[in-house]
Amino acid sequence: QVQLVESGGGLVQTGGSLRLSCAASRSIFSINVMGWYRQAPGKEREMVATITSGGSTNYADSVKGRFTISRDIAENTIDLQMNSLKPEDTATYYCYAHFFRSWGQGTQVTVSS
């Protein structure tokens, strides 16, 4: 069992940046695939970015070149740097630990046009 807490969401203008952080209750990232997902009203939850225990990353086509996922094993955190934000990035963003099937509570990102 692991608890995940997201932070860093907020309201920004188109073209702005935000950095989201996911803090785990214990050290798990070295043996687990972690991911950032998002869900907008009326849409299904979608994968944004994932990172494996070996550091390999994958991104949704819609965010490639704009978002970067990273981890700090010592600090038990997973970050998502979001640049060049667009209104279509507006959603609740969730951290997910795949092996533990554990979700964070979500953090809201709103991009105004």
User: What's the rounded mean pLDDT across residues 49-75?
Assistant: 95
Q: How far is CA 107 from CA 37, 53, 54, in A?
A: 11, 24, 26
Task: Give the confidence band of 111 by pLDDT, cuts at 50, 70, 90.
Answer: very high
β-sheet with 67-72: strand ranges across: 4-7, 18-24, 77-82, 67-72
Q: pLDDT-derived band of residue 65, with 50, 70 and 90 as boundaries?
A: very high
| Predicted pLDDT at 62 | 98
Q: How sure is the predictor about 41, in pLDDT bands with cuts at 50, 70 and 90?
A: very high
Q: Summarize pLDDT for 1-28 with one digit per residue, the tens.
A: 899 999 999 999 999 999 999 999 988 8
Q: Output the pLDDT for position 32.
A: 83
Question: What is d(CA 106, CA 22) in angstroms, rounded to the nearest whole number?
Answer: 9
Comparing 6-10, 66-70, 78-82, 96-100, which segment has the lowest mean pLDDT? 96-100
